[in-house]
Structure 1
Amino acid sequence: MKLVVVSAGLSVPSSTRLLGDRLAAAVDRHTPVEVEVVELRDLAVEIAHNFTNGFPGRALSAAQDAVANADGLIVVTPVFSASYSGLFKSFFDVLDKDALEGTPVLIAATGGTARHSLVLEHALRPLFAYLRAVIVPTGVYAASEDWGAEGLDGRIERAAGELAALMTGLSAARPAKDDLEVVPFAQQLAALQPAGPSGV
């Protein structure tokens, strides 16, 4: 199975990338996966050009294909102004709107203080719910003081186990995206109406 880590870290080395790597290693301990890392820092110029000309460059196109064809995703962003970074959001803005439908996603973030830990719930979870991904129940936030603390390892293991379970359970059950049938709302309502006295 293919696991893709999308990291929006900007520095080298990056705590955001480190968290993504630790999460990926934990998933691999639960179920063997092939890991590919997409560093958004390296795609910043192509993402900007995609907004202005409507076409992805070669590296951005390869990253989009990797994300769209993954069996599972780990997405990690640093917290900027109490939300995900602009680079992180921009990448998912230029991704096809149906690319993540039914894909298991583990959300994670890094920040300087624990005050921003709710970014997982008020920013990342709604974004991936909108993209119709299957979001792992446990998100992982790592503040500066969390590195080396016992609690972080526990959250990483729990979230990784949940992602591994979703990947193994959903990979066989997930329908092909073209096979999803949309039933018109009026037809759904008609099916709910009670039958008349004559049975019609």
Structure 2
Amino acid sequence: METRRVVVVSGGMSTPSSSRMLADQLAEATRRELDGLDLLADVTTIELRELAVDIANNMVTGFAPPALADALQSVKDADALIVVSPVFSGSYSGLLKSFFDVLDNTVLDGMPVLIGATGGSIRHSLMLDHAMRPLFSYLRARVAPTAVYAAPEDWGSGTQGAPALDQRVARAASELTGMMAGTRSARRPDGLQASAPFEELLAQVQGR
């Protein structure tokens, strides 16, 4: 059975953390979707609060301590990411931004990414599209169409016996899995797509 490496990045600050709870739900839903495709999920979870000091030191020294270096390598080796952040001042956390700032900005080329966020009000849900999605688009990742936001009222809510949050989680996981199914063949190790030399492309055009 083939394996897909899924790395979960949780930006939650507290214990327990609603961001970690959402991240775990997204990871488990993705695991189930991969299982349905006869693919084995190898899930690694990175808690950024445990790396906060290392990230700050890396920002000012350029050197990643061992724990942070391992986390960065896990992201580099991943077939897909699940990234969840709490909302701070209408955006993602500074700790999450700092983590991706110390990551080589070519690592996420073509990588499927599922984004999620948690906050104290549903009014902050647009943060996913005006802040998080542009971040990963800038890093040239492929972001799943469905982003999942969870406000306090989302936990256990829903109609007709089916929690609304569970429905969004399932849909997002299905999209991520669909993107991931061909990851090994779609991404080159350096993240670049192969193309023909310019002269060959020009000759093809002139020959039409």
Structure 1 and Structure 2 fold alike (TM over 0.5): yes
* In structure 1, C-alpha distance between the alignment counterparts of 2:194 and 2:80, rounded to whole Å: 23
Structure number with greater Rg is 1
Q: Which runs of 5+ in 2 are unaligned?
A: 35-39, 158-162
Q: What is the CA-CA distance between 1:137 and the residue it aligns to?
A: 0.5
- The 3 A distance-change label for structure 1 pair 178 and 78 is closer
CA contact (8 A) 2:80 2:111 kept: yes
Give TM-score, length-normalised by structure 2. 0.86
1:4 aligns to what?
7
Deviations 1:115-165 (A, max 9, x none): 000011000000000000010000000011101112101000000001111
**Identity over the aligned pairs, expressed in percent?**
54
1:167 aligns to what?
180
Whether 1:26 aligns to 2:29 is: yes
State the Cα RMSD in Å.
Answer: 2.1
Whether 1:139 aligns to 2:147 is: yes
Q: What is the CA-CA distance between 1:167 and the residue it aligns to?
A: 0.8
Runs of 4+ in 1 over 4 A off after TM superposition: 178-184
* Paired amino acid for 2:7: V
Deviations 1:50-92 (A, max 9, x none): 0111111111100000011101100000000000000010100
Look up the SS of the partner of 2:109 in the other structure.
coil
Q: What is the CA-CA distance between 1:173 and the residue it aligns to?
A: 2.1
Q: For 2:65, which of 33, 57, 62 is the aligned residue?
A: 57
2:37 aligns to what?
none
1:38 aligns to what?
46
* In structure 1, C-alpha distance between the alignment counterparts of 2:195 and 2:101, rounded to whole Å: 24
Look up the SS of the partner of 1:84 in the other structure.
coil
* In structure 1, C-alpha distance between the alignment counterparts of 2:54 and 2:195, rounded to whole Å: 35
- The 3 A distance-change label for structure 1 pair 179 and 86 is closer
Whether 1:69 aligns to 2:77 is: yes
Q: For 1:100, which of 108, 123, 126 is the aligned residue?
A: 108
